[in-house]
């Protein structure tokens, strides 16, 4: 006879899914920002919400403080990744280099300095709001509705 295990509050598949969504979202954000020649920090909001909902859904830790912490961390990671890609893309365009060469040649100090130079206060507010939105969306878990069946016969 096999004993059934209680569901774990930490689902590694859900965490890996949320991490991949964060990195893919950061890459899409960077592509859109490089195409528009803007930062597009407003994209941190839907990305944070999506990360939070994935962790609050069936794949994640389901509405716990662990889910909120993971969602906030993954949202910050996605924002940092997007800003790193945007800075690298701008250097590549300015120097006429390929993006793959630029990614391996510029360091984090140059990327940080460039990002700090062109980020505005509203951009930082959008990124921070995306982090809080991710944490908030991760803590909201909808429990499935349970239909209560009456043991009394219906009166018809």
In a domain, 109, yes or no: yes
* Residue numbers in the chain where pLDDT is lower than 70: 1-10, 58-63, 141-156
Residue 58: per-residue pLDDT:
62
In a domain, 144, yes or no: no
Both tokens of residue 30? 């960077």
Residue 122: per-residue pLDDT:
96
Its domain, for residue 135, covers 25-139
Distance CA 45, CA 131 (A): 8
Residue 65: per-residue pLDDT:
85
In a domain, 10, yes or no: no
Distance CA 74, CA 17 (A): 11
In a domain, 7, yes or no: no
Residue 145: per-residue pLDDT:
58
Residue 4: per-residue pLDDT:
53
Q: Say what the pTM is.
A: 0.80
Residue 61: per-residue pLDDT:
65
User: How many Cβ atoms from other residues are within 10 Å of residue 87's Cβ?
Assistant: 23
Phi-psi region of 37 (alpha: psi -120 to 50; beta: other; left: phi over 0): left
In a domain, 150, yes or no: no
pLDDT tens per residue, range 20-43? 999 999 999 999 999 999 999 999
Phi-psi region of 96 (alpha: psi -120 to 50; beta: other; left: phi over 0): left
In a domain, 16, yes or no: no
**What total of structural domains would you count in the chain?**
1
In a domain, 156, yes or no: no
Residue 131: per-residue pLDDT:
96
In a domain, 153, yes or no: no
**Angle CA 35–42–23, to nearest 5:** 70
């Amino acid at each position: 006879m096999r004993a059934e295990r209680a569901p774990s509050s930490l689902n590694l598949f859900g965490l890996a899914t949320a991490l991949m969504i964060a990195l893919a979202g950061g890459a899409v954000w960077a592509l859109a920002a490089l195409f528009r020649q803007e930062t597009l920090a407003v994209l941190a909001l839907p990305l944070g919400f999506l990360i939070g909902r994935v962790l609050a859904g069936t794949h994640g830790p389901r509405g716990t403080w662990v889910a909120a912490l993971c969602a906030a961390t993954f949202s910050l990671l996605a924002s940092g990744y997007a800003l790193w890609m945007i800075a690298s893309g701008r250097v590549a365009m300015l120097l006429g280099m390929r993006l793959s060469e630029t990614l391996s040649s510029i360091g984090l100090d140059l990327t940080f300095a460039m990002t700090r130079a062109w980020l505005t206060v509203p951009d930082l507010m959008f990124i921070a709001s995306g982090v809080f939105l991710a944490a908030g969306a991760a803590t909201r878990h909808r429990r499935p509705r349970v239909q209560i069946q009456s043991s009394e016969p219906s009166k018809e």
